[in-house]
């Protein structure tokens, strides 16, 4: 269970990290270096969480699968802060649903004996 916990934390932080790389261009020059420091700190903390997730897992595939949820964190942050509007929400939700089903099948495949 710790592998899921650390992987989801790493996914959340990685999503914020990747979004902050894009958002960095919108930051005022007076706050630029502080925000850049935050970007680097997020990268370090996410890698630390990935390390602990790998430490508690005998299969790195599960960790990597959960890390892919950072895409959705980045997407939702882009909608909220960058006002992203050029996408189809129905197709996006379908993709989220299919990824969730895929995660279930992959996890279930390891429980079969």
Q: What is the pLDDT of residues 95-105, one digit of tens each?
A: 888 988 887 88
Residue 60: inside a domain: yes
Structural domain boundaries, residue 42: 2-83
Residue 94: inside a domain: no
pTM above 0.85, yes or no: no
Residue 8 near residue 69, CB atoms below 8 Å: yes
Residue 103: inside a domain: no
**Secondary element (H or E) of residue 110:** helix 89-111
Residue 94 has pLDDT above 60, yes or no: yes
If one counts the domains in the chain, the total is 1
pLDDT tens-place string over residues 20-71: 999 999 898 899 999 999 999 999 999 999 999 999 988 888 888 889 889 8
Rounded distance between C-alpha atoms, residue 100 and residue 102, angstroms: 5
């Amino acid at each position: 269970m710790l592998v899921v916990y650390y992987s989801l934390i790493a996914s959340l932080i990685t999503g914020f990290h990747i979004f902050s790389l894009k958002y960095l261009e919108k930051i005022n020059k007076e706050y630029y270096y502080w925000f850049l420091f935050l970007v680097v700190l997020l990268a370090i903390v996410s890698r630390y969480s990935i390390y602990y997730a790998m430490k508690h897992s005998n299969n790195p595939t599960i960790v990597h699968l959960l890390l892919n949820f950072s895409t959705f964190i980045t997407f939702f942050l882009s909608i909220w802060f960058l006002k992203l509007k050029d996408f189809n929400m129905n197709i996006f939700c379908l993709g989220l649903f299919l990824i969730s089903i895929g995660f279930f099948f992959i996890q279930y495949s390891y429980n079969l004996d």
